[in-house]
Every structure is written in structure tokens, then in C-alpha cells.
């Protein structure tokens, strides 16, 4: 009898202080919806210039993970750094970790790790998560993602053991990310980048594949946090992994199966008028995950957010008026 592949996943979320209220919703949604047999460890990586305070706040919500509270691991970026192979990269890392953030903080910029750009560091840390844990698969989330239906290992890993991905029709912006990422690694760009794997979470990797991709990327670009701290052009974290594994030869779909659930997520460009559509889709069971960008939450009026708050209450994801206030005025 053929043994079915182990489908246990570690979850990783990179978070900064402005997303802590959203992370609490995610934690409660994991506790409610994630099948215990599929869950390895839960890694929350801190990406905030007030690192200690942010880490303490994440630790304080351990109970929100319910039966999985013991699986929570709060990770500081320093734990993920690779060796710097040259004197130049060692000097650059010293500047990045000890000097750069001072000036940026005085200018009111650089809210991420050690005062560096939060969005760039978030991308680097998602890739560096390959160095964490031991489960065979890694599910990468953003704090904005919440589970709204039961999920099992089969939602993220196919029966043949391949992690699930999905075909996404790209727009001009995403095509620019693809071309730039392949170019950074000196790989041939797919002839018609009209489709690609997801550029946003959720994304699931076989851990060994992500480690392989990270090694390819760092061999070419150097330590990944230094690359994302510099002018990286239009390359993005997930498209760099796509390039490293695909090699311009169409290998991605040999390594991945279709069927990855999408997160029905509203970003800042979507407009708050679509909130009711998001909630209706979740109530109908059209999706397993939803999300709203933190900046979009801040733009919502009380009338617009009513449906969303009611849905969160129904699911047990918010439990007090103070939590509502934290979500919409972070």
C-alpha cells in the first residue's frame, strides 16, 4: 500500500505593530478553522523598528491561537540571517542593522526591522522563513489573511505531495515583476508572462524547494535582506522564487499542483464599497480566506464597516468594542 505524503504545514506571518489587531483575527481564525492534523508550527516574524514591544504584543496574544497556543514561535529577524561571504557584505549588513535606521527614523521613515523599509524587509523575511521549522511544507500568510472556512492539508498539498499553486492572470504591473525577477537571476523570461503563480498570499512551498530557491537567489544577489534594503528594482519575493524554481523552462508546474485557495482580499485600490461583496462571498462559502488591507480599514466609515464587523462577530474573531477600535484606528 502506497503511503500518502505527510501534509503538515508550518504557517509563517511577518507582522509590524500596525497590523497587530489583524494578526489577532488571524490567530482566532486558525484556532477555529485549521485542522489539527495539518498544522506544524506557527511562526510570527517581527518586522518593526520597535522590535521588543512588537514581539511582546504578539506573545500576549498566544491564547488567541486556542488549541494551537503551544505552536506559536515569535521570531526576531536576527535569528534568520545568513553568513555574509565577503567583507563588503559584512560592512553593508553592519550599516543596515546599526546605522541606516537612525537617520531614517529621524526623517520619519523606515518602520521595519532596524528602521529599514517595512515592505522590502517583509519580502526578505518571507524568503528567510525557509530557515525555520521542520515541517515539509510552509504556508506563507500576511496578517490581513483570515480563514473563514475549515481547511485541511489537502487544501494546500495535492495527493501526489506537490504543494498547490494556482494560475493567475497578470496585469502590466505583475508582468513587470516577473520580467525583473527573472532578469535579476539572469534567467530567460517566460515568452508570454500573461499568467503566473500568485504574487500575493496565501502561498505554499515545499520547504526544500524554498530553501533551494533561496540558495539560488542569494548566490546571485547576496544576502537577501541586503538586496531588499537596496534598490532592488521591480523584483519581488515570490516572483524571485518563481524564477529560481522555474528556470525559464516551465518547471514551476512540474513542482506544483493547481488548486491553491485564493484569499478574497481587498487592497487599498479596491475601494471600500466592495466590503459588502467580500462579506457576502464569505457567507456563501465562496472562499476559504478573506482579507482587508490595514490602510483600507482605516478609510472605512462606520456605515461601510458594519457588515464586516458583524461577520467578524459571528465568527468569534472579535469579542469587544476595544478590539473594533484597534482594528479601524490602528
Quick: pLDDT tens for 124-162. 999 999 999 999 999 999 999 999 999 999 999 999 999
Among all chains, which residue has been given the C-alpha cell 524587509? 121
The SS3 call for residue 195 is: strand
> CA–CA separation, 214 vs 243, rounded Å?
11
The model's confidence at residue 276, banded by pLDDT at 50, 70 and 90, is confident
CA distance to 297, 313, 326, per residue, from 318 (Å)? 15, 5, 11
CA distance to 41, 48, 190, 208, 318, per residue, from 68 (Å)? 9, 25, 41, 24, 18
The pLDDT value given to residue 155: 96
Quick: pLDDT tens for 24-54. 999 999 999 999 999 999 999 999 988 999 9
Residue 297 has pLDDT above 70, yes or no: yes
CA distance to 114, 283, 317, per residue, from 147 (Å)? 31, 12, 10
Report, as an integer, the average pLDDT of 219-243.
91
pTM of the predicted structure, to 2 decimals: 0.92
CA angle 201, 171, 217 (to 5 degrees): 55
The pLDDT value given to residue 1: 35
**Rg of the chain over CA atoms, in angstroms?**
19
Query: Cell digits for 29?
Result: 481564525
Among all chains, which residue has been given the C-alpha cell 518563481? 242
How far, in whole angstroms, is CA 325 from its chain's centroid?
A: 24
Q: Which helix (DSSP H) or strand (DSSP E) does residue 222 occupy?
A: none
CA distance to 1, 81, 176, per residue, from 131 (Å)? 33, 9, 28
The pLDDT value given to residue 63: 98
Q: Is 247 exposed, middle or buried (0-12, 13-18, 19+ CB in 10 A)?
A: middle
> CA–CA separation, 321 vs 158, rounded Å?
41
Q: Which helix (DSSP H) or strand (DSSP E) does residue 196 occupy?
A: strand 195-196
Quick: pLDDT tens for 62-78. 999 999 999 999 999 99
Amino acid at each position: 500500500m502506497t503511503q500518502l505524503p505527510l501534509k503538515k504545514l508550518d504557517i509563517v506571518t511577518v507582522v509590524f505593530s500596525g497590523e497587530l489587531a489583524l494578526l489577532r483575527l488571524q490567530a482566532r481564525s486558525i484556532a477555529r478553522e485549521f485542522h489539527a492534523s495539518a498544522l506544524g508550527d506557527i511562526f510570527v516574524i517581527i518586522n518593526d523598528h520597535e522590535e521588543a514591544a512588537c514581539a511582546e504584543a504578539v506573545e500576549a496574544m498566544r491564547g488567541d491561537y486556542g488549541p494551537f497556543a503551544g505552536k506559536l514561535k515569535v521570531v526576531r529577524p536576527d535569528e534568520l540571517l545568513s553568513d555574509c561571504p565577503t567583507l563588503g557584505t559584512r560592512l553593508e549588513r553592519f550599516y543596515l542593522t546599526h546605522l541606516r535606521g537612525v537617520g531614517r527614523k529621524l526623517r520619519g521613515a523606515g518602520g521595519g526591522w532596524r528602521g529599514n523599509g517595512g515592505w522590502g524587509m517583509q519580502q526578505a523575511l518571507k524568503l528567510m522563513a525557509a530557515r525555520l521549522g521542520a515541517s515539509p511544507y510552509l504556508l506563507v500568510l500576511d496578517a490581513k489573511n483570515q480563514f473563514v472556512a475549515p481547511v485541511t492539508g489537502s487544501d494546500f498539498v495535492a495527493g501526489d505531495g506537490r504543494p498547490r499553486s494556482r494560475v493567475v492572470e497578470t496585469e502590466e504591473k505583475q508582468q513587470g515583476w516577473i520580467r525583473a525577477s527573472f532578469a535579476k537571476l539572469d534567467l530567460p523570461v517566460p515568452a508570454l508572462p500573461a499568467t503566473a503563480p500568485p504574487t500575493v498570499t496565501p502561498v505554499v512551498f515545499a520547504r526544500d524547494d524554498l530553501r533551494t530557491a533561496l540558495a539560488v537567489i542569494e548566490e546571485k544577489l547576496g544576502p537577501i535582506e541586503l538586496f531588499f534594503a537596496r534598490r532592488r528594482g521591480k523584483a519581488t519575493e515570490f516572483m524571485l522564487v518563481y524564477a529560481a524554481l522555474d528556470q525559464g523552462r516551465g518547471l514551476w508546474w512540474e513542482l506544483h499542483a493547481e488548486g491553491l485557495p485564493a484569499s478574497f482580499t481587498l487592497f487599498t485600490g479596491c475601494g471600500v464599497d466592495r466590503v459588502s461583496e467580500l462579506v457576502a462571498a464569505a457567507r456563501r462559502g465562496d472562499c476559504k480566506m478573506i482579507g482587508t488591507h490595514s490602510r483600507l480599514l482605516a478609510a472605512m466609515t462606520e456605515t461601510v464597516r458594519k457588515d464586516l464587523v458583524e461577520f467578524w462577530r459571528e465568527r468569534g474573531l472579535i469579542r469587544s468594542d476595544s478590539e473594533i477600535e484597534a482594528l479601524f484606528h490602528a
